[in-house]
Amino acid sequence: MACEIHTSGRVVRTNVAVLSASVVGLAVLLVATAPLGPLSDARASRTTTISDVQVTNVRATSFTVSWITDGEATGHIIYAASPTTLTETAYDVRGATFENDTHYVTVQQLGEETTYYFDVVSGVETDDNGGVHYQVTTGPVLGPASSDTVYGQVFKSDGSTTASGAIVYIALTDNDGSGSSGQAAPMSALSGSGGYWNANLGNARTQTLGDYFTYSASGDELQLFAEGAAEGTDELTVDTDDDTPADGLILAEEPPTNTPTATHTPTNTPTPSDTPTATPTDTPTPTATDTPTSTPTPSDTPTATPTDTPTPTATDTPTSTPTPTSQPDDYLYLPVVLSEQLEESVGTSAPLPRARALGPLTLPGGRARSGAWLRHAGAGE
């Protein structure tokens, strides 16, 4: 396409396509040669905290390492069969440059019944387990595993938005006394598109890794724990007859430790001094003009004239002085009503957050589950 450019009274015809290409080329050149700015430098030097390192899916030639961070970062491990030099690298299954606060690395093509040492790396941070490295021992080669796929979905806290990238830890547990006893070696899966996760229970091994874990199609249990890092966690237990699909896991943050309770402090509790004093207009009888604190005494009783005093027995005496327990019901009812209104406005109880016990899988990071699984994996049981 040609156009005319008027310059100093002359008309110059030029080609728009050629001009546009030149401008675009110049822009690309400027971007390519521009130095990295402060944003890129900040991202490269950003620190994150690594926590909840777990080893799962240990088999003859592979194992999985997963962990979370307090911010989004890349994730990989460095490993070797010798603790002196960790020369091999395995990246997050979602890519070497993928950034998230959940991290999931599967190491493959390993030697059977071999101990491996590894460190966890996220961003610029390295977790070497206090200088002694993490370690895991692979199991022996077994025959072909059976196929028994279990699956489910993970949702965000609203219960409808699916959550990808959540780590689902799976513990197959004997519950009917048939087959293998106790609990299988820990397994895991990563939720993907649509929040779906799946695993083959046929790969479940005993804690020693020396055999497949045998279980019943109905009557044994799956303990599931979903780890979503900043998105929160959830856990549930399902029967092996109700795991295709299992109930949805809904991520939610743990309640804060300073959650207000319904316990009233003494300063909020009504005392007798707070009870309103009845006035003459509230008194149901003419004689109850004052509260017990202002009860007339014989010296306060007005002198009655013979015409005003109906009978000698009508004169108030100290023995007939009203007391709090002998007041009319209307007087006793008033503080009760106020007390009930106070309870309605302050509240006497509040629903406590739902909690479920997971047993050996008590989480999140740093809790018994993490230590137990790492000890198992490290010891090569």
| Widest pairwise Cα distance in the chain | 132
The reply to whether 39 falls in a domain is: no
CATH number of domain containing 195? 2.60.40.10
Q: What span, in angstroms and rounded, lies between the C-alpha atoms of 246 and 81?
A: 38
pLDDT value for 45: 56
Looking at per-residue pLDDT, the higher value among 23 and 80 belongs to 80
Is residue 220 within 8 A of residue 177, CB to CB? The reply is: no
Is the pLDDT at 264 greater than 80? The verdict is: no
Q: 91 and 6 share a domain?
A: no
- Tell me: do 244 and 336 sit in the same domain: no
Q: Are residues 15 and 119 in the same domain?
A: no
- Tell me the per-residue pLDDT of 180-232, one tens digit each, with 9 for 90 and over: 999 999 999 999 999 999 999 999 999 999 999 999 999 999 999 999 999 99
Residue 263 included in any domain: no
Which residues are CB-neighbours of 180 under 8 A, at least 6 positions away? 174, 206, 211, 213, 214, 215
Domain shared by 11 and 55, yes or no: no
- 30 shares its domain with 146: no
Evaluate whether 31 touches 56 at the Cβ level (below 8 Å): no
242 and 285 assigned to the same domain: no
Q: What is the pLDDT of residue 253?
A: 83
Residue 259 resides in a domain? no
Same domain, 24 and 103: no
- Enter the DSSP assignment of 34: S
- 282 shares its domain with 337: yes
Q: Is the pLDDT of residue 70 over 50?
A: yes
Residues 17 and 55 in one domain: no
Among the ranges given (24-33, 192-201, 278-287, 343-352), the one the predictor scored with the smallest mean pLDDT: 24-33
What is the pLDDT at residue 255?
A: 59
Is-contact 364 67, C-beta < 8 A?
no
> Where does the pLDDT of residue 100 fall: very low under 50, low under 70, confident under 90, or very high at 90 and above?
very high
Beta strands in 62-144 (DSSP E): 63-73, 76-80, 88-91, 100-107, 115-122, 125-127, 134-137
Query: Do both 24 and 69 map to the same domain?
Result: no
212, 336: one domain: no
Q: Whole-number mean pLDDT of the chain? A: 73
In a domain, 162, yes or no: yes
Does residue 29 fall inside a structural domain? yes
In a domain, 214, yes or no: yes
Instruction: Say whether 137 sits in a helix, a strand or coil.
Output: strand
- What share of the chain in percent tops pLDDT 70? 54
Q: Domain check: are 188 and 235 in the same one? A: yes
Residues 363-376 have a mean pLDDT of 40
Give me the pLDDT at residue 157, please: 97
Amino acid identity of 188? S
Number of domains in the chain: 3
Asked whether the predicted pLDDT for residue 81 surpasses 70, the reply is yes
Could you tell me if residue 300 is inside a domain? no
Boundaries of domain holding 287:
272-293+323-347
Q: Is residue 119 part of a domain?
A: yes
What would the pLDDT profile of 11-69 be if each residue is shown by its tens digit?
A: 444 444 443 444 444 443 433 444 444 444 445 456 899 999 999 999 999 999 999 99
